Structure 1
């Protein structure tokens, strides 16, 4: 299948995400790009000041971001929607189609490796799947499951199920969804003919942990989950034959320094391109936790913490020797250099004003993508 010319997102959160992207800013360009999605209105619990989805070209020579364009926000409702969009040459996004996600407050979307389906995580407690048409638009929902029961350990967050994200495991048709409300990782297998999901395993996280996001090691042998409520990273082995996660965590390690007692919640997690380091963001401590990774065992050793240079680092991306951190409550993005030997971060001084950044999305290097005859954008 050709690398897609489209990206997918939610109209409720004005969010856009993609797991792979073809040469859509002009095939002559070899510079990576970055999307930053923002809150654009008063949500009740916070006032968004962003203008929509910002697109940047990333200059890997100095870590600077070059603005390409802004896709203005669409009017949103509390009904959940999922949208497919195509990127124009000027960096703005063109809406292909929109369907109901059949769940409230959709918060995450993931594209399977063969680019046939997307899985939508509805925070109000359900998981949906949509096949993709050849032009990248969404076909009707082919799978749906509700999760009305939470662990009730932390009642204001776990009275019911809350599906926060999902991730596709490498070398298999397996997807794992993080249920923050029930303290569970839910593993499914994609039945490719019927375009539906079959439950194959449920992995329990510690009570009251609140699993939020996951990352896969480049060697495809380990998965990492960050727990929002308890600020813990859990390490799991991926069975090479079955593709199933280990039922018990190999390790659980805190994202916070010993002795820190103020309120903080973990948010995002990523593994470095070279597989030597793992990073997790702390909202409250306002830092990026840095861990060294044992590539054979998957275990983590704390290296230190780097201040996010802002408030509430909800999202970040790590690309080769660079990291871009989005601070939601200080309306800024900062670029850091990554030391390939130590994993430590150094602030480049490249700082950008972005209203209420909700999410920054993977940076793609075009020279690593398969170009096809799909330049008609």
Structure 2
């Protein structure tokens, strides 16, 4: 009888332990990471992220692909698109690959030319039926139709090289905002705006926003109601804010991202608003910090909270986890991903953990 009770106790214990592990796995989130592959990386990686502890574990290679420097999911999370930031795919162009996502596994559907060299950004429309790629060296944008069969080959090419005879176009971000395609061009110091017409995109009524000479607009983000648009400028280490009036963005307020006493070169990379819209974060490559601003809900004005060391070198893309509790930073040159706990009340960051990975540059939660 004692043996039976002992065996029964062991079985119950194993069942409880197993259910705890299953529950733990259910609670974990999945993070995909794009990398540069000239430093030991092989492509897109996948991690489990524990929102209770802030730790990244179970690193696996999700897809072997060259220089997937930017990745993006479709709105339904059934597809993932990854650029290969190269200039030797076909006719000196880069490429974009469409993957089907099955239980967090990536299955390649097809690959297309980006019709420009060194693609560096992927934007997906809210419907999931359009995908845009910004070609940095190519100085143009390719817009594809998308479906379960992948990307169509007959992309529309929007060429920025024709817009200025003195500056060199460098399209850096292409994002769909409502019915418009918005593109930041680092070389032209412009945010270009396009609207859909006759099956393609043409210049919108407000065709562009002009940044300071040599600012180098890289990435941008809008507030929840799109009243405010914030642009992070790579070359002069600033953030510029535009306000919407009568359907158009006007006025510019500019904020420095690096400390006034910083000596040396620094280049901005990425920026994101917190889920509640109360704080704006941006990365500084060189100063190697995350700058933190508090956002005035009424005016959109920014108030400096401070700067936090990223615990690494050359912070590129970063992301805020779905709970809004953590900020994860990809440090390209120090080959690590660093996790910070985010104080939702004050916007400040506190170091939690880090993992090693060669040349991480893009972080996306599934």
Please give the per-residue CA displacement for 1:180-222, whole angstroms capped at 9, x wherever unaligned.
Answer: 000000011123x614344431110000000000112234321
**Match among 163, 166, 191 for residue 171 of structure 2:** 163
Structure richer in strand, relative to its length: 2
| 1:196 counterpart residue number | 201
SS of aligned partner of 2:333: helix
- The answer on whether the counterparts of 1:40 and 1:50 sit within 8 Å (CA) in structure 2 is yes
**Match among 109, 123, 135 for residue 122 of structure 2:** 109
- The answer on whether the counterparts of 1:40 and 1:73 sit within 8 Å (CA) in structure 2 is no
**TM-score w.r.t. structure 2 length?**
0.81
Q: CA deviation at 1:116?
A: 1.3
| 1:357 counterpart residue number | 360
Please give the per-residue CA displacement for 1:55-98, whole angstroms capped at 9, x wherever unaligned.
Answer: 12222112112326313433575221111111243x44211111
> 1:253-332 to 2 correspondence within 5 Å?
253-319=255-321, 320-332=324-336
Q: Take 1:150 and 1:266, find their aligned partners in 2: how far apart are those partners?
A: 25
| 1:52 counterpart residue number | 43
Q: Take 2:163 and 2:232, find their aligned partners in 1: how far apart are those partners?
A: 18
Q: 1:271 to 1:139 in 2, by over 3 A?
A: same
Q: CA deviation at 1:54?
A: 0.9
Q: Take 1:220 and 1:109, find their aligned partners in 2: how far apart are those partners?
A: 20
Q: CA deviation at 1:150?
A: 8.0
Q: 1:149 to 1:207 in 2, by over 3 A?
A: farther
Q: 1:285 to 1:150 in 2, by over 3 A?
A: farther
Q: Take 1:57 and 1:102, find their aligned partners in 2: how far apart are those partners?
A: 35
| 2:64 counterpart residue number | 73
In the alignment, structure 1 residue 179 sits paired with structure 2 residue 185: yes
**Match among 27, 30, 33 for residue 30 of structure 2:** 33
Structure richer in helix, relative to its length: 2
Please give the per-residue CA displacement for 1:307-326, whole angstroms capped at 9, x wherever unaligned.
Answer: 00000001110120100011
In the alignment, structure 1 residue 148 sits paired with structure 2 residue 154: no
- The answer on whether the counterparts of 1:83 and 1:97 sit within 8 Å (CA) in structure 2 is yes
Q: Take 1:104 and 1:223, find their aligned partners in 2: how far apart are those partners?
A: 28
- The answer on whether the counterparts of 1:150 and 1:160 sit within 8 Å (CA) in structure 2 is no
Q: Take 1:51 and 1:92, find their aligned partners in 2: how far apart are those partners?
A: 16
Q: Take 1:304 and 1:136, find their aligned partners in 2: how far apart are those partners?
A: 46
Q: Take 1:216 and 1:299, find their aligned partners in 2: how far apart are those partners?
A: 13
| 1:64 counterpart residue number | 55
Q: How many residues align?
A: 315
- Cα RMSD between the aligned structures? 2.1
| 1:248 counterpart residue number | 251
| 2:242 counterpart residue number | 236
Q: Take 2:331 and 2:156, find their aligned partners in 1: how far apart are those partners?
A: 34
User: Unpaired runs of 5+ in structure 2?
Assistant: 1-24, 67-83, 88-92
SS of aligned partner of 1:96: strand
Greater shift after overlay, 142-151 or 329-338? 142-151
Q: Take 1:274 and 1:136, find their aligned partners in 2: how far apart are those partners?
A: 36
Q: 1:161 to 1:274 in 2, by over 3 A?
A: same
User: Unpaired runs of 5+ in structure 1?
Assistant: 1-27, 42-47, 153-157, 365-377
Q: 1 or 2 for the larger relative contact order (CA 8 Å, sep ≥6)?
A: 1
Q: Take 1:148 and 1:97, find their aligned partners in 2: how far apart are those partners?
A: 28
